[in-house]
């Protein structure tokens, strides 16, 4: 029986809501799930103190190393155990690997030069002087933290005659040049920010929206679409992230409402784009780090001309917030983990035969 490790920063699985779903689907697929945290790994004994779900409860056991590891949990908190994780990676395939923050993804895509036309020009900002130089070029900009998430900390800024209009969440503020300079300087002291030109992606009623393209690998190691759905921001906002007050909808009704008879062409455009970009990101990860990716949440906008722009690519997108898709998401992950484990065993057997032949 294949043993799938679920590596998480939390010590106990009953504190992790999704752990039960992964354990249940693993059993349904003829596998066993071992939940564990990094500090429970004993490399000398090649044993792990972890938990398996049995008879309606999580039971603590001492286990051999798993055949494959699904690494989840907080990347920041798991970073404290980077040496342990690196050591595990030498012998055990991991389903998930970091693709880096917004700018790392942007720079890799730009260097690869295949999806450059879909990238929104992005600039690190280190000073208020640099901010105004870039702002004066674009006129309407988005100012956001490089390591931000869930739409937090994103500002829209435009010039209105001699003053500047700032949209923060759903609140508008008018700043003079000196006030804006002071405000930007204070933000830059807190963390690293970037500037992008504003992409006008709004519904017929003027609400901001984007598309989440959620893709995963299946049991054959092929990219498939888990779900594509629009995320619509609240009135007066530029952020469509659901955690920032946005909402969502089913894709086809939304497209029919916004684009009429063109809905099917746009649907296919989004579907093809999501699978092509996922494959490209996977190739980049393989070329740079000899690693693979199993799941991506790709956020894109579409401007007035119907052109797609990549807002962000997330390597741990989580389950879609609606549509009852948790089971689909979990099933794809478990089946891919089984595929990865089997592929690893085959490669190991081939290598042993080759070494024996020498």
Q: What is the pLDDT along the chain (358 residues), one digit of tens a residue?
A: 999 999 999 999 999 988 999 999 999 999 999 999 999 999 999 999 999 999 999 999 999 999 999 999 888 889 899 999 999 999 999 998 888 888 889 999 999 999 999 999 999 999 999 999 999 999 999 999 887 766 678 899 999 989 999 988 778 899 999 999 999 999 999 999 999 999 999 999 999 999 999 999 999 999 999 999 999 988 877 766 655 566 888 999 999 999 999 999 999 999 999 999 999 999 999 998 888 899 999 999 999 899 999 998 988 887 766 656 778 899 999 999 999 999 876 655 445 555 555 5
Element (DSSP H or E) covering residue 47: strand 47-54
Distance CA 224, CA 332 (A): 9
Q: Could you give phi then psi for residue 316, rounded to 5 degrees? A: -135, 75
Distance CA 184, CA 157 (A): 11
Contacts of 263 (CB under 8 A, 6+ apart): 252, 255, 256
Question: How is domain 3-94 classified at the architecture level of CATH?
Answer: 3-Layer(aba) Sandwich (3.40)
Q: Which residues pair with 61 in a beta bridge?
A: 50
pTM score? 0.88
Q: Which of 97, 333, 326, 95 is nearest to 227 (CA)?
A: 326
Pick the CATH number of 102-118+202-323 from 3.30.470.20, 3.40.50.970, 1.10.569.10, 3.10.20.340: 3.30.470.20
Question: How is domain 123-197 classified at the architecture level of CATH?
Answer: 2-Layer Sandwich (3.30)
CATH 3.30.470.20 residue ranges for the chain: 102-118+202-323
Residue with tokens 């690494």: 71
CATH 3.40.50.20 residue ranges for the chain: 3-94
CATH 3.30.1490 residue ranges for the chain: 123-197
């Amino acid at each position: 029986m294949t043993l799938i490790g679920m590596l998480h920063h939390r010590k106990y699985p009953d504190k992790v809501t999704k752990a039960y779903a992964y354990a249940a689907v693993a059993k349904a697929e003829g596998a066993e799930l071992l939940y564990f945290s990094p500090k429970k790994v004993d490399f000398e004994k090649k044993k792990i103190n972890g938990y398996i779900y049995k008879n309606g409860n999580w039971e603590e056991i001492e286990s051999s190393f798993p055949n494959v590891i699904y690494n989840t949990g907080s990347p920041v908190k798991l970073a404290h155990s980077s040496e342990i994780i690196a050591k595990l990676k030498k012998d055990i395939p991991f389903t998930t690997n970091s693709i880096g923050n917004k700018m790392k993804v942007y720079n890799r895509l730009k260097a690869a030069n295949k999806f450059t036309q879909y990238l929104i020009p992005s600039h690190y900002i280190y000073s208020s002087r640099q901010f105004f130089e870039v702002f004066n070029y674009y006129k309407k900009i988005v100012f956001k933290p490089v390591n931000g998430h869930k739409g937090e900390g994103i500002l829209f800024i435009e010039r209105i005659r001699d003053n500047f209009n700032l949209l923060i969440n759903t609140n508008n503020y008018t700043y003079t040049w000196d006030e804006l300079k002071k405000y930007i300087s204070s933000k830059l002291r807190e963390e690293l920010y970037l500037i992008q030109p504003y992409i006008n992606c709004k519904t017929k009623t003027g609400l901001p929206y984007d598309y989440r393209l959620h893709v995963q690998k299946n049991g054959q190691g092929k990219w498939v679409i888990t779900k594509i759905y629009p995320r619509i921001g609240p009135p007066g906002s530029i952020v469509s992230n659901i955690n920032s007050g946005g909402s969502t909808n089913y894709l086809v009704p939304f497209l029919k409402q916004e684009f009429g008879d063109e809905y099917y062409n746009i649907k296919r455009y989004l579907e093809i784009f999501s699978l092509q970009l996922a494959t490209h990101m996977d190739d980049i990860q393989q070329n740079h780090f000899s690693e693979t990716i199993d799941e991506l949440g790709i956020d894109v906008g579409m401007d007035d001309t119907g052109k797609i722009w990549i807002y962000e690519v997330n390597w741990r997108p989580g389950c879609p917030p609606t549509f009852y898709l948790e089971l689909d998401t979990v099933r794809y992950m478990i089946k891919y983990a089984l595929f990865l484990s089997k592929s690893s065993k085959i490669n190991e057997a081939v290598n042993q035969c080759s070494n024996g032949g020498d």
